[in-house]
Amino acid sequence: MRIATLCTLILCGAAAHGAPPAFTDTFPLKSCRFASVGGNDFFPLRPGRQLYLSNQNCVAAGDCDALTELWITTEFDTRTVTLGSGRNRMQVPTRVVEERETENGELAEISRNFFTSCNPMRDVYYFGEEVDIYEDGAIVSHEGAWLAGKNGALPGIVLPDSAFLVGSRYFQEVAPGVALDRGEHVATNLEVTVPAGTFKGCTKVLETTPLEPNSKSTKVYCPGVGLVRDDELELVAVFHVHDDEDDD
């Protein structure tokens, strides 16, 4: 969905009446040619790519008590997600992106997220996630898990193509009662410095959810890199993971 469509669905109608723009929750899925690779400049889907983020600067400054580390790995695995039934049935190929989070070296959460690229628009859609939450090395919860096509859940957009409009608002997850994260573009063309380097042309996205009205999170995405900041977490390094099947 290009920015003109985002403007039509998200911003322009509400802005014309002077009201805050609504968060769109309906997307032109039938116009997409979905692919499990590609993505866009701000959210690439490249198998074998891994981002490592931590809050080491926050800890060093004394503003964070625990060292949080996050590894985001675009896996070589894919998953097909089915939407609808009968003539309206769609089978969508998605890419598995694993997020592994630790606190002071102890495993806190592993999630397997299902993303796909909508071509030719290059918007990245979010089709669900599997969640394992850990305490003392054991799984204690799957809170937040959802899958498009199940229990009334539908896909959202995790990040549109590289043309951004400040004020654009959209649901990233559409799983009623479970996951309803929303994104809002609050700044663009930023220069950001993190341990991994200095990046230009970046965009800041404010994330909220009606399930937790007082909860807010800020993420910064930069072209050619992807996520470089997630609240106190900052990008430290980018790795390329080897596919074990290449050894066969």
DSSP state letters, 4-57: HHHIIIIIHHHHHTTSPPPPB----GGG-EEESSEEETTEEE-TTEEEEEE-HH
Rounded to two decimals, the pTM is: 0.89
Q: Is residue 86 part of a domain?
A: no
* Nearest-5° Cα angle at 131, 209 to 173: 30
Domain annotation covers residue 97: yes
Residue 138 lies in a domain: yes
60: Cβ contacts below 8 Å, ≥ 6 apart: none
pLDDT at res. 75 = 98
Residue 248 lies in a domain: no
Return the pLDDT at 246.
55
Residue 233 lies in a domain: yes
Q: Measure the CA–CA gap between 177 and 170, rounded to whole angstroms.
A: 17
pLDDT for 244 equals 66
Contacts of 68 by beta carbon, 8 Å cutoff, 6+ apart: 54, 55, 101, 102, 103, 108, 232, 233
Is 247 within the bounds of a domain?
A: no
Residuewise pLDDT in 10s, the chain (248 residues) = 333 334 334 333 333 445 556 899 999 999 999 999 999 999 999 999 999 999 999 999 999 999 999 999 999 999 999 998 888 899 999 999 999 999 999 999 999 999 999 999 999 999 999 999 999 999 999 999 999 999 999 999 999 986 678 989 999 999 999 999 999 999 999 999 999 999 999 999 999 999 999 999 999 999 999 999 999 999 999 999 877 665 54
C-alpha 66/C-alpha 48 separation (Å) is 29
Q: Look at residue 83 in the predicted model and tell me its pLDDT.
A: 94
> Does residue 29 lie in a domain region?
yes
Distance (Å, rounded) from C-alpha 243 to C-alpha 109? 23
Look at the chain and report how many structural domains it folds into.
Answer: 1
Say what the pLDDT of residue 16 is: 40
Given this model, what pLDDT does residue 72 score? 98
Q: Which H/E stretch holds residue 58? A: helix 56-60
> Domain limits at 74?
3-78+91-240
In a domain, 188, yes or no: yes
List Cβ neighbours of 40 (8 Å cut-off, separation of 6 or more).
117, 122, 123, 124, 159, 160, 161, 162
| Residue 141 vs residues 45, 110, 112, 174, 186: alpha-carbon distances, Å | 28, 11, 14, 20, 33
The torsion region of residue 128 among left (phi > 0), alpha (psi -120 to 50) and beta comes to left
